[in-house]
């Protein structure tokens, strides 16, 4: 399998794993406060990342890597999980998943800035068109919209796009799983302290479903998913492989319907189909 195919395969595995993040977060915030959920998942993943780094005896990052790693931690370890957890108190998981349609554009923009990529003009036209479909649907669908929830989701997409692009840039030299592991390690002291500070007074009323959801977002969403995703972006290109995120709403919506019994109307699927078509055509123009 060549480098490009490896990148797309790894990226697809990452997307499949991330697809369960919002539904799992929605289930977890039924019993856990958003802030505790954010710091606890990061602390658990940080401990696991530390074990991996010790087992495989990885070299420490350079001093020049510390600030980028801290920014990655701020964006994808804290920012995206916290903002989405807060947003899911105002909107349904199926509505929040629509915003994932903006992630490819956000990632591509930051890929140009941080990764030095230069997609063709037609790529931007098609990506903006697809993103406009997503935003238009969110604004029109007032029944499940929330000004606060939508604003939080938009902020999470901006933070996530930067974290993806910055992580992919470092992954070209450090490796995908090493980047997210070092970012988790750098944030671990603060995350562990906050986890103890904001832990629930009692776990007796916490459902098994919420605990399993916490385990999923800690192990898969916070660590394993990034191993494949950063590797995919580094091998296949940030803008190009980033377009795979347009498949994430489909998988996420199906999981929301199955796990949360949320109603999935045909307009949502129509919007997602339109967005995916735009990005499918844009993919070939992702790089000059």
Closest CA to 214 of 17, 21, 14: 21
Would you state the pLDDT for residue 129? Answer: 85
Q: How far apart are CA 123 and CA 67, in angstroms?
A: 31
H/E stretch holding 241 reads helix 238-242
Would you state the pLDDT for residue 114? Answer: 75
Place of tokens 């990052």: 61
* Ramachandran area for residue 200 (φ above 0: left; ψ -120 to 50: alpha; else beta): beta
Q: How far apart are CA 201 and CA 59, in angstroms?
A: 39
- Give this prediction's pTM: 0.86
Could you state, in order of their start, the residue ranges of all structural domains in the chain? 3-198+209-285
Would you state the pLDDT for residue 281? Answer: 76
Q: How far apart are CA 23 and CA 93, in angstroms?
A: 6
Tokens read off for 69: 């790693």
Residue 32 is classified by DSSP as S
Q: How far apart are CA 67 and CA 175, in angstroms?
A: 17
User: DSSP states of 152-209 as a string?
Assistant: HHHHHHHHHHHHHHHHHHHHHHH-HHHHHHHHHHHHHHHHHHHHHHS--S-STT--HH
Would you state the pLDDT for residue 176? Answer: 81
Q: Which residues of the chain have a pLDDT value below 50? A: 288
Q: Are 179 and 117 in contact (CB under 8 A)?
A: no
Tokens read off for 236: 């296949």
Would you state the pLDDT for residue 189? Answer: 96
Q: How far apart are CA 270 and CA 240, in angstroms?
A: 23
pLDDT digits (tens, 9 = 90+) for 176-216: 889 999 999 999 999 999 999 999 888 888 999 999 999 99
Would you state the pLDDT for residue 203? Answer: 86
Q: How far apart are CA 224 and CA 135, in angstroms?
A: 30
Would you state the pLDDT for residue 252? Answer: 77
């Amino acid at each position: 399998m060549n480098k490009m195919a490896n990148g797309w395969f790894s990226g697809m595995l990452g997307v499949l794993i991330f697809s369960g993040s919002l539904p799992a977060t929605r289930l977890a915030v039924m019993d856990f406060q958003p802030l505790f959920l954010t710091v606890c998942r990061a602390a658990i993943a940080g401990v696991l990342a530390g074990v991996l780094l010790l087992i495989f005896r990885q070299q420490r990052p350079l001093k020049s890597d510390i600030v980028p790693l801290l920014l990655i931690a701020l964006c994808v370890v804290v920012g995206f999980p916290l903002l989405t957890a807060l947003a899911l108190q105002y909107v349904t998981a199926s509505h929040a998943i629509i915003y994932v349609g903006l992630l490819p554009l956000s990632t591509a923009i930051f890929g140009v800035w941080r990764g030095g990529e230069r997609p063709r003009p037609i790529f931007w036209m098609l990506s903006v068109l697809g993103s406009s479909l997503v935003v238009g649907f969110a604004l029109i669908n007032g029944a499940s919209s929330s000004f606060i929830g939508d604003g939080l989701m938009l902020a999470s997409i901006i933070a996530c796009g930067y974290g993806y692009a910055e992580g992919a840039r470092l992954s070209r030299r450090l490796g995908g799983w090493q980047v997210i592991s070092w970012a988790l390690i750098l944030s671990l002291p603060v995350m562990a302290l906050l986890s103890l500070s904001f832990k629930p007074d009692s776990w007796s009323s916490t459902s098994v479903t919420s605990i399993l959801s916490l385990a999923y977002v800690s192990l898969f969403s916070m660590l394993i998913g990034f191993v494949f995703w950063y590797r995919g972006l580094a091998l296949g290109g940030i803008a190009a492989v980033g377009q795979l995120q347009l498949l994430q709403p489909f998988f996420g919506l199906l999981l929301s319907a199955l796990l949360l019994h949320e109603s999935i109307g045909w307009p949502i699927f129509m919007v997602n189909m339109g967005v995916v078509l735009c990005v499918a055509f844009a993919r070939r123009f992702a790089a000059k």
